[in-house]
Amino acid sequence: MLREYDRSQLAFRSAWRLEITGLSIMGLPPAPIQRKVAEHTLTLDEEIGRCWFEAGWCYTYGLFQSSVLLAAIVAELVLERYLRSKQLWSDYTNEVDESQRTLGSMINFCKPRKDRGPYVTSKILRKFKELNELRIEAAHLKVRRNLTLALPEKPSLNEIDEVQQISQKEINKNGKEVLVAYSWVEDIVLIDPETTLLYKVRAFKLYAKRALILASEISSLMFELG
């Protein structure tokens, strides 16, 4: 069953991987490893790299909601790394209680105030704000759980999901071309009554792609700041 499901999803996964192949994060030097040392203290750079790796593969395998959350984690760690490099992390931790230290509170900390300018550029702040909004929706589903799903050719204001036609033509044992749709038990599938084509609702796919793009752009911009 798993082998057949993987075979049916391979074309989708290949296409999704190609969508994010050009994205990357910057400023992550390799960690030096000493052969005789058994312990190894994790660094922010290593955690950023690991989370970015998992975010990309979540996207590849269709775990789009998880990919949004991991992309936000990458951006949060990149921002923490920057604040530490500028000796601003202690100011942030003194100002914000540990239980309230979130990506949102870090963004607010970096905004301009009456007595000083912003700690990062307005462009970076805008991208952080957008990514944080995607993260909040992925975590709390305040909008998506009330959506009305529709076929892609019909008017829709949904910017969260992607509705993708999943019907495929195959040759059966009798040599006749038939329409087959591979799906999974938990999948939400829409049926077009006029064409009998089936459409899969890829939950959070549009949000996940945007989140990965934002995380990549934020990393590049933060790297340029030093």
Single out the residue of 90, 17, 111 nearest to residue 58, CA to CA: 17
Distance between CA atoms of residues 116 and 44, nearest Å: 27
Per-residue confidence band for 36, with pLDDT thresholds at 50, 70 and 90: low
75-127 pLDDT, tens digit each = 999 999 999 999 999 999 999 999 999 999 999 999 999 999 999 999 999 99
Q: Are strands 177-181 and 167-171 parallel, antiparallel or unpaired?
A: antiparallel
Beta carbons within 8 Å of 44's beta carbon, 6+ residues apart: 77, 80, 81, 84
**Mean pLDDT score across all residues of the chain:** 88
Tell me, yes or no, whether 66 and 87 share the same domain. Answer: yes
- Per-residue CA distances from 33 to 40, 43, 50, 70 (Å): 8, 12, 17, 26
173-209 pLDDT, tens digit each = 777 766 666 655 567 888 888 888 888 899 999 999 9
Tell me, yes or no, whether 52 and 115 share the same domain. Answer: yes
Q: For residue 125, with 0-12 CB atoms within 10 Å meaning exposed, 13-18 middle and 19 or more buried, which class applies? A: middle
Number of domains in the chain: 2
In a domain, 19, yes or no: yes
* Count of Cβ atoms closer than 10 Å to residue 106 Cβ: 21
* Count of Cβ atoms closer than 10 Å to residue 33 Cβ: 7
What is the pTM assigned to this prediction? 0.83
Tell me, yes or no, whether 108 and 22 share the same domain. Answer: yes
pLDDT at 183: 57
Query: Can you give the residue range of the structural domain that contains 76?
Result: 2-26+38-146+205-225
Distance between CA atoms of residues 86 and 118, nearest Å: 13
In a domain, 32, yes or no: no
Tell me, yes or no, whether 93 and 179 share the same domain. Answer: no
CATH (domain of 61): 1.20.120
Tell me, yes or no, whether 50 and 82 share the same domain. Answer: yes
pLDDT at 41: 74
- Per-residue CA distances from 50 to 30, 42, 174 (Å): 12, 11, 49
Tell me the average pLDDT across 20-37: 72
